[in-house]
Structure 1
Amino acid sequence: AVHQGQGVGSEAEQPGKTDEPDEVPAVDLALGGPPSTMNDLPSGAAFGTLVHEVLETVDTSVVSLPDELLRCCREAVRRQLADVEPAAMAEALLPVLLTPLGTRALADIAPADRLAELNFELPLAGGDDPVVGEVTLRRVADLLRWELPADDVLAPYADLLASVDAPALRGYLSGSIDMVVRLDGPRYIVVDYKTNRLARGDLTALHYTREAMAAEMLRAHYPLQALLYCVAVHRYLRWRQPGYDPAVHLGGVQYLFVRGMVGPLTPGGCGVFDWQPPAALVVALSDVLAGRS
């Protein structure tokens, strides 16, 4: 989640993830395909917080992943006082960990190669020392039009963002990235978990095709969230990665719609939304947020 504040430490405490809807879409579309393993589990923001906690704390290096997952579910349910059966939740989440994310699955990512809950705080237009340049959503939309290829699946977001009536942004933008994964190279990928339901009733993996996930990304303004996360990682790597080159080290984003991730038999393109915003776009947005261009 991302929050704007007027100064360092000024934003309200975050009790949980607030970017996943409580309402169920008014779409009733029966589809074939492998059923979602989470059909018997709740929906909404509170359940999303529970899933985030489990996926961010599970230790993939253990001998028995099912036992570790059950332990994490029990602890998360206890901490959140959730009305969820831990064993059922663990059984539903195991296929999520085993779903291919390109060349690997979440279960294959060593703890040393992942950074969970990366908190960040980005000064807007100078933060406490304001600069002349303004940070507006319209300027961000103009960047998207300039840098995104016309055939990018999220290219329509530029017009959608430009239609939002919002004042210039000041202060600080704070948030937390679910996970940053280090791949060979090294390359770094932003990972975000989503528990959104894309239809009513029982779901299958085919409710989470790339087209359906892209539509949800646009509807929920997730492209802006993803770009802000990329800027945060960009600024982090400038200080931490020797020989940092955005075009080499920024690996894009993966939004994991966990209800569409059903294990190794997940149909290709379902459940995992990959997006590679151009490195030039991330760098330019970082400059715009800083008020430098």
Structure 2
Amino acid sequence: KDFRGLLPADIAILVRDGKEAQAVRAELSARGVRSVYLSDKDSVFAAQEAHDVLTWLKACAEPDVERPLRAALACITLNLSLAELERLNQDELAWEARVMQFRSYRELWRKQGVLPMLRRLLHDFRLPQALIARSDGERVLTNLLHLSELLQQAAAELDGEQALIRHLSEHLALSGQAGEEQILRLESDEQLVKVVTIHKSKGLEYPLVFLPFICSAKPVDGSRLPLHYHDASGKAQVTLKPTAELIALADDERLAEDLRLLYVALTRAQHACWLGVTDLKRGNNHSSVLHLSALGYLLGGGAPLTESAGLTRWLQDLQQDCPALSYGEMPEASAGHYHPPHNEAALLAARIPKRKASENWWIASYSALRIGERLSAGSDEAPESPQAQNLFDDERLDPQAPRDVVAGGADIHRFPRGPGPGTFLHGLLEWAGDEGFAATPQAVEDAIARRCNRRGWEGWISALSDWLQHLLKSPLHIGAGQAPVIFGQLSQYRVEMEFWFASHKVDVLKLDELVRQYTHNGVARVAAEPVLLNGMFKGFIDLTFEHDGRYYVADYKSNWLGVDDMAYTEQAMEQSILDNRYDLQYVLYLLALHRQLKVRLADYDYDRHVGGALYLFLRGTRAPSQGVYFARPPKALIERLDRMFQGKPEPKAEPAWVQGELL
């Protein structure tokens, strides 16, 4: 039979409990030997990671509540630096980004479940990469994945996020034996020395077994109450006032159990088993207690050792006429460091695919359109929510704007600038839309007060209430020949309408060329960078509404154009739209509306049914322009873009005449 070299995975060290396992693993780790601890009692819910996961769930369930979110970001497992945590206190943009991040986790939790959500969280915080560098990293990562699976199973029988949070909280509060599915899992299939409890090893075999603590014992002395024992009839009994007789009876039962465990331990080895045998002493007089252990009881028949030399005679007597037993002195411990052998297997040549590689299919959005060097780069990932899209839009504009929060003010022009306040204003209009744009002044003030109080903006409640009530009642002009629209009188509308449509190898440079050709009289503007849109295109329209038989899209912009209303002229708003390339945005929104109406209206015609795009600059609603910029690109542009996204070629121009025949 062929032999092979000894590997760490061939070795099992059997122990009684976690304390012994910890001592063994510490010595192995000091010498570079990796190990794994397996027990039949340790529950994954007892690990620190379970408490951290509970903290994450609370933050994901309520991402807008500051306390649980800060607790989640400060937990041990995420291991964010103190500098990064302090930055969240100082940088509002960084804090809002974290809020949006955990909002996306909540959305993923609701759509796909807790397991995909937790896996996304692990990926976003790069925990696998960080943990693998730690000595206990595999253990931590295994616990996190194990907990994620258990929570996913529990979620199938529970209703909602809070029910799952209560479920996990109850498990953390419980103590006692873990269920089979909750026992800690093996963290790796690599070459690791196994440190296993004797209970866990029942029914298993290992090539080589070591029993370093086999001479230890925990005799019953009556100090730990209540005392458990069995009476003469075999019935379990408990007492709080043990007598010497009952203590002796309980200790006999302890010894019987130790003998059973000794048998289990001695029969686990396939090839060899090493026993650490010594004359253990205890007490001030250093009396031997070896006879109290199962091995000492077998060696001496229960008689105590009078001198340590007697142990040598016991072992020599045991070894006689038994070649399978070998007795020797304990070798000196080595401080040498173990260096695992390198994998010298030769790498095979890389396989060359014979079929054509699959096309680059992805989900894009307006934020995927990268616009020039002086504007911040877009994100390749489509936003998961309207709030995430709004945060991107606001972040893209005026990145150097001051973000200090003014305590209060009388007009909207002094309201804080930046992505956080911008998302806040969007949220007010979203709330108003959900209320039918007809909320009473008191309801408006109450809603704004609740939102401002959470952010410490109490000084803005009055100004924002006046601003929103004025906006909802104002007749907004939407192009020549059209009756003004009043938000408070709308009856047919959708707030944050989400759209998806296919994009078949759309060249953004060609798309941009078309938009520049057909809009704003072809005026020069920052060009888009080359990107290929292939897959799906998605987005969220702030407001889609019907007015006098025509359909419109509206987008809210919190851009700061100047210190007073006079800064919000039509020319200034158009320049802001061109600088930030919102023309691309509203054209794509109108394309989505065009496709929706084409399949919903039997007699649909773009010129008759599409009203246009309304850009509402929220800080300029009291200006002569009302902060409204209206645009309606021609039908030819929308239809050409429609064909482009379908992957259809441009139609060839028909000749004006054929020889001999006038067309």
1:66 pairs, out of 441, 446, 449, with: 441
Whether the 8 Å CA contact 1:3–1:175 is kept in 2: the answer is no
Measure, in 2, the Cα distance between the counterparts of 1:71 and 1:50: 15
Whether the 8 Å CA contact 1:210–1:270 is kept in 2: the answer is no
Across the aligned residues of Structure 1 and Structure 2, the Cα RMSD in angstroms comes to 2.8
Measure, in 2, the Cα distance between the counterparts of 1:210 and 1:74: 32
Where does 1:221-236 land on structure 2 (aligned, <5 Å)? Answer: 221-236=581-596
**Paired AA for residue 214 in structure 1:** E
Measure, in 1, the Cα distance between the counterparts of 2:599 and 2:612: 19
Unaligned runs of 5+ in 1: 27-35, 126-133
**Paired AA for residue 424 in structure 2:** L
How much does 1:173 deviate? Answer: 1.6
Q: Deviations over 1:247-286 (max 9, x none)?
A: 1111111100011111xxx41x351001111122112112
Measure, in 2, the Cα distance between the counterparts of 1:84 and 1:173: 37
**Paired AA for residue 493 in structure 2:** R
Assess, with a 3 A threshold, how the Cα gap between structure 1 residues 243 and 68 changes in structure 2: closer, same or farther.
Answer: farther
How much does 1:25 deviate? Answer: 5.8
**Paired AA for residue 72 in structure 1:** A
Where does 1:1-293 land on structure 2 (aligned, <5 Å)? Answer: 2-4=366-368, 11-14=382-385, 15-16=387-388, 17=390, 18-20=392-394, 21=397, 23=399, 37-58=411-432, 59-60=435-436, 62=438, 65-77=440-452, 81-85=454-458, 86-102=461-477, 103-110=483-490, 112-125=491-504, 134-144=505-515, 146=517, 148=518, 153=520, 155-156=522-523, 159-160=524-525, 163-184=527-548, 186-199=549-562, 203-262=563-622, 266-267=623-624, 269-293=625-649
Secondary structure class of the residue paired with 2:506: coil
Secondary structure class of the residue paired with 2:560: coil
Unaligned runs of 5+ in 2: 1-364, 370-380, 403-409, 478-482, 650-663
- Relative to its length, the structure with more helix (as a share) is 2
How much does 1:96 deviate? Answer: 2.3
Whether the 8 Å CA contact 1:119–1:176 is kept in 2: the answer is yes
Whether the 8 Å CA contact 1:182–1:188 is kept in 2: the answer is yes
Measure, in 2, the Cα distance between the counterparts of 1:23 and 1:82: 22
Q: Which has the higher contact order (CA 8 A, sep 6+)?
A: 1
How much does 1:12 deviate? Answer: 4.9
Assess, with a 3 A threshold, how the Cα gap between structure 1 residues 240 and 82 changes in structure 2: closer, same or farther.
Answer: farther
* Rg comparison, structure with higher value: 2
Q: Deviations over 1:14-73 (max 9, x none)?
A: 4431202363569xxxxxxxxx930332111111111112112213564x6322322332
**Paired AA for residue 423 in structure 2:** T
Moved more, 112-121 or 69-78: 69-78
Whether the 8 Å CA contact 1:253–1:275 is kept in 2: the answer is yes
Measure, in 1, the Cα distance between the counterparts of 2:607 and 2:452: 41
Assess, with a 3 A threshold, how the Cα gap between structure 1 residues 220 and 170 changes in structure 2: closer, same or farther.
Answer: same
Q: Deviations over 1:105-128 (max 9, x none)?
A: 444432x32111000112210xxx
Whether the 8 Å CA contact 2:497–2:544 is kept in 1: the answer is yes
Q: Give the TM-score normalised by structure 2.
A: 0.36
**Paired AA for residue 197 in structure 1:** W
Percent identity of equivalent pairs: 28
